[in-house]
Amino acid sequence: MKKKRDMERELLEWRKQLFELRKKYRDTPPGFQNDMEEQACLEKLCREQEEYRKKREHCLEDFWEPKEELFAGREAYLEQIQDIFRQGKGPAVLYGMGGIGKTAIARAYALHCRKEYDGVVFLSCSGDFQMVFGDDVRLPISNLRYSQDKYGGKGRYIREKLKILGRIGEKQRLLLILDDCNMEQDRYMKRVFSLPFHILVTTRRDPAFWGGCSGVPVGELEPEEWEKFVRLYWGKEPEEEAWKEFSSYWKQVGGHTLLMMLRLRGMKAEGRMGKRAEGRVEGSPEELPEALAEDLFCRFPLKKQEKQILRELALLPVQGIRESLYFGVSGVDSRDLERLKSCLLVRVEDIEEGRDRLISLHPIIAEAARKIFLPTQYNCRKILHGFYKIARNSWNCTYLENQKIEPYVFAIFQAFPEPEAWLAREFGSFITWLWVQGYFEEAKEECRKLTVSVEHHYGSCHQITGETYLKMAASCYNSMGFEESENWYFKAFECMNQCRPFDDRYFHYRSAAYSKISRIYRYRGGEENLKKALELIRRALFYEKKYWDFCEKNSIWHEEDDPENSYRHWQLGEARILFDLGETDEALKLGNEAREGILREIGEGKNYQYELNEFDRFLIKAMAAKGEFSRAEEMAVQVVETARIYRKDQSKEMASSEEQLADVWMAAGQFEEAAELYGQILGRLEEDFPYQKQWIKKIREKWCQSLEQRKNG
């Protein structure tokens, strides 16, 4: 296949030439009539050129801005870091025990030398470099996002992303801070450390084992620095007795800067810690002694809700969470959070010019909270349910809206690798979120774990088990495992027909099972299978109507299991079967009725806007079959635009929607337009979805057919 033409670039070049010609022939009918018209045309052209450039260039979309923080002494460390970078001997690595002040030094350097850089990137290393640099939330680059269909495994994507970061670093002077980087070795370490940035690393490991970097050991404060430190955090000049007490405590904790800072704010570690008067706290948070973990909290009279905040924040990624989002999912009292902030147990940082705040825990405090407050699915059920209420309607949210909770969904799966069966719906919503965002294999893996847990707890004949089988089938279906998906759907169908009702959603899930089996028979084709599909979908409508009546009678409404929404989808399923049976007029009538029902719900304020595409796509197919090409084309264009808004240009949904638009043009005899769009889809599929061989083959055949039709006139 020939290289795809860049039609947008050619159009811009043509508009530029047209501008020059109109400028050259001023005061003629095709030329500019006055300076104002010429200036407006120039501004529009420049704007379009800039938009074209932005869509194709790679640049970092987000930088970290250092803020003024309490910092006493240690200017010598800042000078050492500057010398390392000046001599080109980076990365500079600050290493020492946990809580000794490495991160504070790194942040102070970023603030002190901010004017020397075009931007600062601050990454907390909560995993290996593949996890850190592969995270498109923490390290977003314009026009670059991970897609399993395009890159396969994450390894290929990381290598490409690091290359792009290298090109960005050659154009801008950037500081990269890798905080809490404690891996022993990493396969990408050499590539990362070779990036053309000034790289500043904090770690609890000896960097001599890494090689290729300059280590700066961080120890306790020097005597003159220690005095500045005490005055700064105490807020005044201590009296003689206070100096003696602070000096004694300093020896007890072995010069541990974090513990001393907390002590100056009101916490004092004694008890078992006092018996280690001459000892030092060593190692990483994973090696945090239980005595130290207890002493981090025991002198604060923490309330139940304050302990709960620490427990929940300890679950989340080390980079923290937006305060507004945390309040939404946890329902905590802001006063409890403020008290934890005043005790220096929670870190709070203003973002978005003060419109929101980022809250997080120091890694040592997070590990201590995990040891002392023991997060479990039971005691964290409220925050799990809070994220569930966001994730449950992920299908009708845009890709970027869903991406806001990405770090937290993965953190939940990491914290609770064996989901509890009684939280099946909560974890089920997270699994749905995974496949909506394109994490198909991850969705299957997590759903298998959930299925094992549910079967063990409820048995193989229970409503919740049937629901989970449906989720497992959908996970396989969305990852293109259609044969395995069918097996799970039939298993769910059998389960839902045999089990007793467990709660008010029983008839909904029984209806859903009938609907999915109906779809299987419809896909098999043939008159007998279609008649069987029609019988099944009408049975699905019968059970969904029972659920709908029950909900109205008892004033019940579940957003993810809305009876009218499901009923309209089953109506659409019946319309598709009727269409395949050749009853086009009846199918079109039923499809319009179903669509009107969804529109009515949208008018009531329900967020089903993206689902409307599914109804529109059937109507497009039916209208094209009846020769109503103008209406079909108008609706198909709108479907493409909706897919672009709610997913992304590189998504399967976008390619599928564009394919239908090209099909309409082809049927209408607009072979030129169809050929061009098929060619664009084919190029994108080969680049972004190289493993979808059958789809690529189908589009290539349509493209060749359209070219032949165009050639024949």
Residue 154, pLDDT score: 85
Task: Give the range among 280-284, 630-634, 670-674 with minimum mean pLDDT.
Answer: 280-284
Mean pLDDT of the chain: 87
Q: What percent of the chain has pLDDT over 90?
A: 48
C-alpha–C-alpha distance, residues 447 and 431, integer Å: 7
- What pLDDT, in 10s, does the model give residues 243-294? 888 887 777 666 677 777 777 776 554 433 333 333 333 333 334 567 767 7
Q: Do 209 and 230 reside in the same domain of the chain?
A: no
Q: Do 91 and 201 reside in the same domain of the chain?
A: yes
Q: Do 12 and 27 reside in the same domain of the chain?
A: yes
State mean pLDDT over 37-62: 81
- What pLDDT, in 10s, does the model give residues 172-215? 999 999 998 888 788 999 999 999 999 999 988 888 888 889 99
Domain harbouring 183, CATH code: 3.40.50.300
Q: Are 58 and 143 in contact (CB under 8 A)?
A: yes
Residue 254, pLDDT score: 60
Adjacency order of strands within the sheet including 92-95 = 119-124, 174-179, 198-203, 92-95, 214-217
Q: Domain boundary at 217, 245, 263, which?
A: 217
Which residues lie below 8 Å from residue 456, measured CB to CB, with a gap of 6+? 421
Q: Domain boundary at 217, 247, 272, which?
A: 217
Q: Do 81 and 42 reside in the same domain of the chain?
A: no
- Work out the burial of residue 221: count CB atoms within 10 Å of its CB; fewer than 13 is exposed, 13-18 middle, 19 or more buried: buried
Q: Do 85 and 182 reside in the same domain of the chain?
A: yes
Q: Is the pLDDT of residue 639 over 50?
A: yes
Hey, which of 145-154, 286-295, 341-350, 451-460 has the most confident mean pLDDT?
A: 451-460
- What total of structural domains would you count in the chain? 5
284: three-class secondary structure by DSSP: coil
589: three-class secondary structure by DSSP: helix
- What pLDDT, in 10s, does the model give residues 331-342? 999 999 988 887
- What pLDDT, in 10s, does the model give residues 381-422? 999 999 999 999 888 888 888 888 999 999 999 999 999 999
Q: What percent of the chain has pLDDT over 70?
A: 94
Name the residue with higher pLDDT: 474 or 298.
474
Residue 256, pLDDT score: 72
Q: Is the pLDDT of residue 37 over 50?
A: yes
Q: Do 100 and 184 reside in the same domain of the chain?
A: yes
If one counts every other C-beta atom within 10 angstroms of the C-beta of residue 267, the result is 18
Q: Do 172 and 79 reside in the same domain of the chain?
A: yes
Q: Domain boundary at 187, 217, 247, which?
A: 217
Q: Are 74 and 105 in contact (CB under 8 A)?
A: yes
Whether this model's pTM surpasses 0.85: no
Q: Do 97 and 201 reside in the same domain of the chain?
A: yes
Domain harbouring 664, CATH code: 1.25.40.10
Residue 1, pLDDT score: 43
Which residues lie below 8 Å from residue 636, measured CB to CB, with a gap of 6+? 620, 657, 660, 661, 664
Q: Which spans in 392-423 are helix H?
A: 399-403, 406-415
Binned at pLDDT 50, 70 and 90, residue 545 comes out as very high
Residue 55, pLDDT score: 67
Q: Do 328 and 394 reside in the same domain of the chain?
A: yes
Q: Is the pLDDT of residue 46 over 90?
A: no
Q: Do 182 and 109 reside in the same domain of the chain?
A: yes
Q: Is the pLDDT of residue 29 over 90?
A: no
Residue 569 forms part of a structural domain: no
The CA–CA distances, whole Å, from 475 to 419, 443, 530, 610 equal: 17, 6, 25, 20
C-alpha–C-alpha distance, residues 534 and 285, integer Å: 60
The CA–CA distances, whole Å, from 584 to 522, 536, 568, 577, 624 equal: 16, 20, 18, 10, 11
Which residues lie below 8 Å from residue 163, measured CB to CB, with a gap of 6+? none
The CA–CA distances, whole Å, from 47 to 24, 53, 252, 295, 663 equal: 21, 10, 64, 60, 33
Range(s) of the domain holding residue 160: 75-217
- The H or E element containing residue 696 is helix 693-711
C-alpha–C-alpha distance, residues 356 and 50, integer Å: 31
Q: Do 143 and 247 reside in the same domain of the chain?
A: no
Hey, which of 17-26, 28-37, 52-61, 494-503 has the most confident mean pLDDT?
A: 494-503
Name the residue with higher pLDDT: 287 or 632.
632
Name the residue with higher pLDDT: 344 or 32.
32
Residue 288, pLDDT score: 55
Residue 647 forms part of a structural domain: yes
| DSSP code at position 176 | E
Residue 385, pLDDT score: 96
Q: Is the pLDDT of residue 502 over 50?
A: yes
Q: Do 321 and 392 reside in the same domain of the chain?
A: yes
